[in-house]
Structure 1
Amino acid sequence: MNFQQLQYLAILAQTENYTQAAKMLHITQPSLTYAIKKLEEQVDLTLFKRVGRNVRLTNSGRIFVKQSMKAINTLNQAVEQAKEAEKPQDIIKISTLRSLSTRWLPFSLKEFLSQYRNRTTPKFQFTSGAVLSQTIVKQLRAEQIDIGFCSKIDNLADIEYYPVYEQQLKFITPLGHPLAAKKAVNLKDTLDYQYITYSKAAGLHVALNQLFSICGGRPQSRFSVDEDEIVAGLVAAGFGVGIVPEMNLLATLPLKQLPIVFPKYRRFIYMATLKAHYQSPAATRFIHYIRQTNHIHY
């Protein structure tokens, strides 16, 4: 008894006619008749009885077909799984700003992967260490990654941006600072205090300079750094005040977070891709998923 015989048996049980079954199987009727006869001899059972020009399953035939169908399904699944294992696994390479790495992005990945319960799950590969938006663009252009999540850098014709997340900015002060007693701040009232500012390489450098210009001045910079976490750490240590994106780290540090009431500012994080880059099927599905589930209104 072999897999082919069981397939022949299943089709004949379905059609109850040798001629029709043979056509569906693309074999001759005598070949099908011989295969079924050999199967009956091997299992020592009469599986079919003739009814005119057709055939019907015997009682023992019904039981045998029912159980053999389970075997066929199991074998088919084994073949499909083995074929799937031979395929190169889909790896989606991602680079992201740290501020997204503990909240928005992990939960987006979880929801996306929940769609793969009965399929091979794609793997995600993340770049390690601190990443700036300019660095992410360089990685995209070098095709080291498939997708980046970063601030938008204007006038880049080869990069496609799609807004996925609106990130709130927080004014932060050391505990015990004169401004820590406030419930919210107008940035005009903060210009006399020393700031921890961003270097020109940081995505927020230009945006914060624009906010200070609206306020009619620019604060003194105690330190100029690249990363949000360093700004928060220096503020917590008492070196000055600062403005950072909302992030989980802030709740763990000895500092005060305050909303900014003036000037109003909306900061967006974008999904960035290189227009000329080939995206794997898994990466394409992930890009489509992010677009479908994140609708940001400017």
Structure 2
Amino acid sequence: MNLYHLKYFVTLAHLEHYTKAAEQLSITQPSLSHAIASLEREINIRLFEKEGRNVVLTRAGKNFLTDIEKALALIDESINSIHLSEIGEGCIDIAFHKNMAASFIPNLARKFLNEHTGKNIDFKFHYDSESTEELIKGLYSKNFDFIFCSNKINEKNIEYIPVFKQRAVLLVPEGHPLADKESVSIDETLEYNHILYTKNHTLSEKLSSYFNKKESQTTISYKTEDVNVITPLVAGNFGISIVPENNSINLTGVKSVEISDLDWQNTVYMAYLKSSYEIPLINDFKKFIEENTINL
């Protein structure tokens, strides 16, 4: 379907006069008549009917006009978005796990915006994905430009950049005997009920292995994948919990304590789809991340 023919149709629909429409479009009247006739043949619908010296839309033509104006507006919006991205402007779509240390990502985005003042740049954040597999699918379907994930999946078309490392911390309720300590050893936590965080497999496996060796001293009161479930349980004095450090969770009624002897760190990666062509905005953000990652 010829895009110009659709634009000619919209102009004629509003002016209802071939000569006036042709003048506004800077084409001849026969060319306009030919274009409209060609469009009607292509879709097999009568779009106009004569009314004196003018033409008016048929009922089908009115419905067609509504849809075509929406479609042309979307096309114009898309073209404008592409033009913006070509000059280092536009929108960047970022996705990450909802249990991740999420404030780190908006803070990076804000720093990027501060370094590019005067440019029309926006971010969209997506944080509903439960797994890295879901995030990877979003990259392949072009729903996201970048994802932040805590494990690497071997995909030849995906590039990973290590961004920062998470350590594990102990969450205890306020007023707990361990709450005022700057740091504790794992052995100091064994006499208390534990809530086991199972979302991060390497951490949960390490803790489970350690607790199994100390089975007579340790009680696992709950297991959950959601750190936002753990914090109210800890605040309610239903147990203490060792979780990846996450400065975006609600710590009301909870204290975070360092663990002195837990040899565990979790690398968070930024991943993107490899491409032979990268628009300037995406390339600018990728370089920015590479320059602002913590030395790993």
When normalised by structure 2's length, the TM-score is: 0.60
Q: CA deviation at 1:172?
A: 0.9
Q: CA deviation at 1:273?
A: 1.7
Q: Which has the larger radius of gyration?
A: 1
1:100 paired residue number: 101
2:144 paired residue number: 145
1:242 paired residue number: 241
C-alpha spacing 1:144/1:251, structure 2 compared with 1 (3 Å): closer
When normalised by structure 1's length, the TM-score is: 0.59
2:114 paired residue number: 114
Matches within 5 A, 1:216-227: 216-217=213-214, 219-227=218-226
C-alpha spacing 1:122/1:135, structure 2 compared with 1 (3 Å): same
Q: CA deviation at 1:84?
A: 7.2
Q: CA deviation at 1:132?
A: 4.2
The 8 Å contact of residues 187 and 212 in structure 1, kept in 2 or not, is answered as no
C-alpha spacing 1:254/1:142, structure 2 compared with 1 (3 Å): same
1:65 paired residue number: none
Q: 2:201 aligns with which of 201, 205, 214?
A: 205
Distance of 1:251 and 1:86 partners within structure 2: 39
Q: Read off the aligned partner of 1:100 and give its amino acid letter.
A: A
Per-residue Cα deviation, 1:112-157 (whole angstroms, up to 9, x for no partner) = 12343344x2321211446544432332344321111120235444
The 8 Å contact of residues 211 and 263 in structure 1, kept in 2 or not, is answered as no
Distance of 1:279 and 1:131 partners within structure 2: 28
The 8 Å contact of residues 173 and 257 in structure 1, kept in 2 or not, is answered as yes
The 8 Å contact of residues 214 and 263 in structure 1, kept in 2 or not, is answered as no
C-alpha spacing 1:86/1:124, structure 2 compared with 1 (3 Å): closer
Q: CA deviation at 1:250?
A: 5.8
C-alpha spacing 1:136/1:223, structure 2 compared with 1 (3 Å): farther
Distance of 1:288 and 1:281 partners within structure 2: 10
C-alpha spacing 1:275/1:86, structure 2 compared with 1 (3 Å): closer
C-alpha spacing 1:275/1:84, structure 2 compared with 1 (3 Å): closer
Q: Read off the aligned partner of 2:152 and give its amino acid letter.
A: I
Distance of 2:82 and 2:188 partners within structure 1: 64
1:26 paired residue number: none
The 8 Å contact of residues 231 and 250 in structure 2, kept in 1 or not, is answered as no
Matches within 5 A, 1:1-298: 87=83, 90-98=90-98, 99-102=100-103, 104-119=104-119, 121-129=120-128, 131-153=130-152, 155-180=154-179, 182-199=181-198, 202=199, 204-213=200-209, 216-217=213-214, 219-249=218-248, 252-275=251-274, 279-297=278-296
Distance of 2:209 and 2:223 partners within structure 1: 18
Q: CA deviation at 1:164?
A: 1.0
Instruction: Let me know the Cα RMSD of the aligned residues.
Output: 3.1
Q: Read off the aligned partner of 2:189 and give its amino acid letter.
A: T
Distance of 2:255 and 2:82 partners within structure 1: 54
Q: Read off the aligned partner of 1:87 and give its amino acid letter.
A: H
1:38 paired residue number: none
Secondary structure at the aligned position of 1:168 is classed as strand
Distance of 1:86 and 1:189 partners within structure 2: 57
Distance of 1:137 and 1:277 partners within structure 2: 19
The 8 Å contact of residues 149 and 270 in structure 1, kept in 2 or not, is answered as yes
Distance of 2:276 and 2:193 partners within structure 1: 44
Q: CA deviation at 1:241?
A: 0.9
2:40 paired residue number: none
The 8 Å contact of residues 166 and 296 in structure 1, kept in 2 or not, is answered as no
The 8 Å contact of residues 169 and 260 in structure 1, kept in 2 or not, is answered as yes
Secondary structure at the aligned position of 1:239 is classed as coil
1:28 paired residue number: none
Q: CA deviation at 1:286?
A: 0.4
C-alpha spacing 1:268/1:179, structure 2 compared with 1 (3 Å): same
The 8 Å contact of residues 164 and 294 in structure 1, kept in 2 or not, is answered as yes
Distance of 1:85 and 1:208 partners within structure 2: 44
Sequence identity (%): 27
Distance of 1:206 and 1:235 partners within structure 2: 22
The 8 Å contact of residues 146 and 279 in structure 1, kept in 2 or not, is answered as no
Q: CA deviation at 1:86?
A: 8.5
Distance of 2:158 and 2:126 partners within structure 1: 19
